[in-house]
Structure formats: C-alpha cells, structure tokens
C-alpha cells in the first residue's frame, strides 16, 4: 500500500498576500482558488511536486506563522536561490549542514548538505535542500 502526502495546510492571515508570495515569489502553480461555504480556499503546487499546499480556513486552528520545517528539494540550490531572488524573494545565504553549520562557499558540493531557509509573509518556515543524487 502506498501512502502519499498530498496536501499541507499553511496557516496565513491574508490569503491574497500569501497567494502572491507562493505563486509569484516561489513559482507555485495555482490549482484552485474557490469560495466555499466555509470560506475561500487556494491550493497551489510547487513545480514537479505531487504534494500541494492549501491556504484558507484552518480547521486545525493553527496560528498563522506556526508551520515550520516544511522542506522542498531541488537539484541545483544555487540556481534555485537565484530564481527566488529574481522573483523578489528575500533569501539568505546557502548554509551547509551535516557537521558544524556554516555558510556555503562557491566550491562546496551541496548534495544533501546545502540548505536555504526562508519564511512566507506570516512567518511560516520553509527549508530548501539540494539533492542531486540519492544513495
């Protein structure tokens, strides 16, 4: 039996502001933007992902900004960082983890150990990791 993660609810205060960040800033595709009896729901999917995020009424009553540690994976973290910067997202320097944490240098191999950490406008925290080859 396969168990697939399909949706992560992201608690936000302003759906329009969050949609602009995830669509325009991170490049997520808008799957749905609908008004339901309980409020507006916006579903977006990262390019190439089988899992989407949903912005909208929060049945779990998570306060905006409380979602932390959701991780995206890319095969070229340096290119991903430049793409985010070109989209106007404030992104910090790439970090190397898997030993003492430190800023990455241009010569570092980022496979499995290179990370970016960023936040949406409500403070929800995301990690972006480079994985170019899996063992």
Give the DSSP letter string of 3-37. Answer: ----EEE---S-HHHHHHIIIIIT--EEEEEEEET
43-86: per-residue pLDDT in tens?
999 999 999 999 976 656 789 999 999 999 999 999 999 999 99
- Strands 52-55 and 39-45 turn out to be antiparallel
Distance CA 21, CA 103 (A): 25
22-26, 59-63, 125-129: lowest mean pLDDT where?
59-63
| Residue 44 token pair | 């977006």
Distance CA 32, CA 43 (A): 5
Beta sheet of 29-36, edge-to-edge order: 7-9, 52-55, 39-45, 29-36
The conformation of residue 45, written as its DSSP 8-state character, comes to E
Whether 54 and 7 have beta carbons less than 8 Å apart is answered as: yes
Per CATH, the homologous superfamily of domain 7-130 is 2,3-Dihydroxybiphenyl 1,2-Dioxygenase, domain 1 (3.10.180.10)
Distance CA 135, CA 121 (A): 35
Mean pLDDT to the nearest integer, 89-115: 94
Domain boundaries, the chain: 7-130
């Amino acid at each position: 039996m396969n168990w697939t993660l399909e949706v992560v609810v992201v608690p936000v205060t302003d759906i329009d502001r969050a949609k602009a960040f995830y669509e325009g800033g991170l490049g997520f595709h808008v799957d749905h933007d609908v008004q339901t009896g309980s409020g507006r729901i916006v579903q977006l999917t990262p390019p190439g992902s089988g899992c989407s995020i949903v912005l909208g009424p929060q049945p779990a009553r998570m306060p905006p900004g409380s979602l932390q540690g959701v991780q995206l994976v890319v095969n070229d973290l340096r290119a991903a960082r430049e793409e985010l910067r070109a989209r106007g997202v404030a992104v910090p320097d790439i970090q190397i983890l898997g030993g003492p944490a430190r800023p990455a240098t241009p010569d570092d191999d980022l496979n499995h150990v290179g990370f970016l950490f960023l936040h949406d406008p409500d403070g929800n925290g995301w990690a972006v990791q480079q994985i170019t080859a899996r063992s």
